[in-house]
Amino acid sequence: MTEHAPLIIDIAGTELTPADRARLAHPLVGGMILFARNWQDRAQLLALTAEIKAVRDDLLICVDHEGGRVQRFRTDGFTHLPPMRAFGAMWMDDGQGAKRREGSGALRAMDAATAVGYVLGSELRACGVDFSFTPVLDLDWGESGVIGDRAFHSDARVVAALAKSLMHGLLQAGMANCGKHFPGHGFVKADSHTDIPVDRRSLSAILADDAAPYPWLSSVLTSVMPAHVIYSKVDKRPAGFSARWLQEILRHRLRFDGAVFSDDLSMEAARRLDSQTLDFTQAATQALNAGCDLALLCNQSLGDGAAVDDWLHGMQAARDAGRWTPSADSEARRLALLPETLPQSWDELMLQPAYRNALDLLP
């Protein structure tokens, strides 16, 4: 049977328990996501990531670390990164009076976005973290509270330019990237953590505006996370469960060949499909069958973690019963997200001129 480890799980504490090790060793687990509860200090984080890699060196260690209000590690030397809207504001600032120079703000903003990508990626990698779910490619329509200042700008061209610059910085640090939330979450008001927002615009309108950064970034985008949004004129299913969005549009029309992550399947709103609430196994199989390569389940390790064990058992049973089929292509996309270079140590990083220069460029 084709090897494919599509499941991303989490742990409850700051070190691995025997149960954590058993779950991470499961052949269907391809990685884990860290949260602030898994953080104490840099020495502890480095020890934890080493423990994880000792279980299986191919596990992808992920985190949501964007800057602004979405940054899991903020103490013991980690740089406080600005929200992405700060770079959009910098783009618009060409100076005043005699110092005004048309376009200078855009160039400064792109340089600063590259710097933040480098700082973000290199600090995480120095602590053994492989991958961050960044950057946000949603447009700032001024409507979405859950997106808000996480977005670079309201203009898709500015978003694409700044995101590409940030991706360049991540690449310099040896880290892949994740554009989210395809095809765009910024237009809707509802929070997809608690509800399923509905976007009633046409496909042509969405592709012209919110989804425009995705084909423009096709040469550098290494992974994508779809939105828990229903685009009712395109498909009755949310994008993360929609073969039309993930296969017909993203894969074929936009020619994206990187990895596709489901968003967090623990959110009840994320599991509402065809007027029913799915269990974790049903939701993951639906996401994989729609075109996701990897399925993400967060915050179910708390307590005794029985929900994670049930999920692993359920996914294995679903595979054996043919309710989802392992994909060699999906596994190759997962492995491609792992860093190919060795990280610098934290002490080496602190002395590196490129890192110190990048800090000076941050807004």
Question: Which DSSP string do the residues of 205-239 spell out, in sequence order?
Answer: HHHHTTTTHHHHTTTT--EEEE-S-EETTT-SSBG
In the predicted structure, residue 143 carries a pLDDT above the cut 80: no
Number of domains in the chain: 1
**Of 250 and 270, more confident:** 250
Cα angle, residue 191 at apex, residues 185 and 192 outer, rounded to 5° = 70
Half-sphere exposure at residue 315, Cβ-oriented, CA atoms within 13 angstroms: 30
Euclidean distance between CA atoms 326 and 200, whole angstroms: 34
Q: What is the CATH number of the domain that holds 308?
A: 3.20.20.300
**What would the mean pLDDT of 78-96 be, rounded to a whole number?**
97
Tokens 């990895």 correspond to 259
33 occurs within a structural domain = yes
Distance CA 108, CA 11 (A): 40
Establish if 153 belongs to a structural domain: yes
- pLDDT for the residue numbered 192: 52
- Token pair 């203009």 is found at 155
Residue 93 lies in a domain: yes
Catalytic pick among 10, 210, 263, 264: 263
Looking from the CA of 355 toward its CB, the CA atoms found within 13 Å total 18
Higher pLDDT, 189 or 16: 16
Percent of the chain with pLDDT strictly greater than 90: 89
Q: Residue 342: which domain range?
A: 7-360
Strands annotated E in 127-265: 131-132, 179-182, 198-199, 223-226, 230-231, 259-260
- Angle (CA) 269-274-280 rounded to 5° is 50
In three-state secondary structure terms, 276 is strand
Give a yes or no: residue 89 inside a domain.
yes
Give me the residues paired with residue 275 across strands: none
Q: Is 193 a catalytic residue?
A: yes
Q: Is the predicted pLDDT of residue 114 greater than 80, yes or no?
A: yes
In a domain, 61, yes or no: yes
pLDDT at 193 over 60: no
Residue 42 Cα to chain centre, angstroms: 22
The rounded distance, in Å, linking the Cα atoms of 297 and 8 is 6
Domain contains 308: yes
Residue 46 has pLDDT above 70, yes or no: yes
The predicted structure's pLDDT at residue 271: 80
| Domain-embedded: residue 23 | yes
d(CA 243, CA 226): 12
Per-residue pLDDT at 186? 78
Residue 360 has pLDDT above 70, yes or no: yes
- Top pLDDT among 247 and 97 is at 247
Q: Can you say which residues are annotated as belonging to the binding site for substrate?
A: 64, 72, 150, 180-181
**pLDDT of res. 146:** 81
State the angle between helix axes of 156-172 and 85-92 in degrees (0 to 180), rounded to the nearest 10.
Answer: 120
CA of residue 66 relative to chain centroid, distance: 9
Longest dimension (CA), the chain: 71
Mean pLDDT of 99-107: 94
Q: Mean pLDDT of all residues in the chain? A: 95
Question: Residue 115's pLDDT band (boundaries 50, 70, 90)?
Answer: very high
Task: Give the pLDDT confidence score for residue 182 in this predicted structure.
Answer: 97
Six-digit token string for 157: 């061209």
263 classed as catalytic: yes
What's the start-to-end Cα distance of the chain, in Å? 51
In a domain, 2, yes or no: no
302 vs 186: which has the higher pLDDT: 302
Q: Is the peptide bond before 181 cis (omega within 30 degrees of 0)?
A: yes
What count of other Cβ atoms lies within 10 Å of the Cβ of residue 340? 7
Catalytic position from the list 94, 168, 191, 193: 193
Question: Measured between alpha carbons, how far is 55 from 61 in angstroms, rounded to an integer?
Answer: 12
pLDDT at 196: 79
pLDDT > 70 in the chain, percent = 97
